[in-house]
Each structure stands twice: as C-alpha cells, then as structure tokens.
C-alpha cells in the first residue's frame, strides 16, 4: 500500500514540477524572451521535482520507512554487528575473518551497486554489506587497525567501478596465521 502511495505522490510531484516550470517560463518569456523561457522551464521543473521528491517525500513523509529499510553497521569490541533496525543482526568477529572483497555491479546508480563481502571461518556464505549501510565508513578504521596489507588500490578501483566485478581487499595468508600462532603462543 505504501509503495502505491509513494508512486502516486511521485506522479503528483512530476505534475507540480511541470506546472510550476510552465508558470515560471511564461513569466521569464515576458521579461527576457526566448530561449530563456525554455531554460527556466527545465530548471524550475527539475528543482521543484527534486525538492518535492527528495525532501518532502523521502525526508518527511516516508522517513520512517527509509530508516527501517536502511541497514546498520555497528562496531563492537570483538567485531561488528550488521543488519536492519528491529531485526536480528549478523555478528562479525574480526579474528575469524579470512577474506574481504568488494563486489560491484552495473546496476547503479538506481540500485545498490557496491557490497562489502566479509568471509569468516566456519561460515559458508560471506556477510554481504551494501555500501548504503548506515555507519559503513567505520569499516575503514577497522581495515586500518585490524588488517595488515589491505589493498587501498583495489578499494579505489572498486569505488570507481561501474561494471560487474570483484575486488580482493584483504586475505588471510600463511604469514598472518604464523604471526597469530606466534602471538598466541607467546602469551600462553
């Protein structure tokens, strides 16, 4: 039902944008003549539509729905929690992470086109975290402090990618395992 209301209000915003654009274009044509009224029509129509759709619909009317459908990334002492508000969250433990990748798709910008794939020991499937996740930028702090040898070059390539691709960001190697074994053996 909300989806139908959103589509209806979206259509109303387009109608209002065009009507507002035509009104202002008429005034501009009387003042400055042609071709300025065409630019005024397009500019005012676009501004009106973006204001109605971007601010009134998404920030005021459908704010709660947008917040409920936006996943959250929360840091903990041992790792992170990922999931949607009011739902059970997936737990990530940094010590169990074996590989981190970024997956991109060609579907953007109209749908999500970048995901962080975090593989953990004992899990068949990776945790797929969309880049639109609230607080996702905290992952950069984690990459810097917890994972040695992160490929910042691949992160930059992934962030600029517009095609279907996979970018390896970090992978646990034999050296990582030996260093961890040595550290745990030294503390024992």
User: Could you check whether the bond before residue 57 is cis, i.e. omega within 30 degrees of 0?
Assistant: no
Q: Is residue 40 classed exposed, middle or buried when 0-12, 13-18 and 19+ CB atoms within 10 A define those classes?
A: buried
Read off the pLDDT of residues 118-166 as tens digits, 9 standing for 90 and up: 999 999 999 999 998 999 999 999 999 999 999 999 999 999 999 999 9
Residue 86, pLDDT above cutoff 50 = yes
In this structure, what token pair is assigned to residue 40?
């005024």
Label residue 169 by pLDDT band (50, 70, 90): very high
Q: Tell me if 45 sits within 8 A of 21, measured CB to CB.
A: yes
Tell me the average pLDDT of the chain. 84
What's this model's pTM, rounded to 2 decimal places?
A: 0.64
Assign 91 to helix, strand or coil.
strand
Query: Roughly how many angstroms between the first and final C-alpha of the chain, as a whole number?
Result: 60
| Spatial separation of the C-alpha atoms in residues 173 and 179, rounded to whole Å | 10
């Amino acid at each position: 039902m909300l989806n139908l209301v959103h589509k209806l209000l979206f259509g109303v915003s387009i109608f209002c944008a065009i009507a507002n654009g035509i009104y202002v274009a008429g005034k501009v044509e009387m003042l400055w003549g042609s071709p300025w009224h065409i630019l005024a029509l397009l500019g005012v129509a676009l501004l009106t539509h973006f204001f109605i759709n971007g601010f009134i619909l998404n920030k005021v009317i459908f704010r709660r729905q947008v917040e409920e459908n936006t996943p959250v990334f929360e840091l903990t002492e041992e790792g992170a929690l990922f999931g949607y508000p009011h739902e059970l969250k997936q737990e990530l433990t940094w010590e169990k992470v074996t590989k981190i990748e970024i997956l991109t798709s060609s579907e953007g910008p109209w749908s999500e086109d970048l995901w962080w794939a975090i593989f953990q020991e004992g899990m068949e499937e990776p945790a797929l975290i969309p880049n639109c996740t609230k607080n996702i930028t905290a992952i950069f702090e984690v990459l810097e402090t917890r994972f040695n040898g992160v490929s910042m070059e691949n992160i930059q390539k992934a962030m600029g990618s517009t095609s279907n691709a996979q970018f390896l960001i970090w992978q646990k190697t034999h050296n990582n395992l030996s260093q961890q074994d040595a550290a745990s053996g030294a503390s024992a």
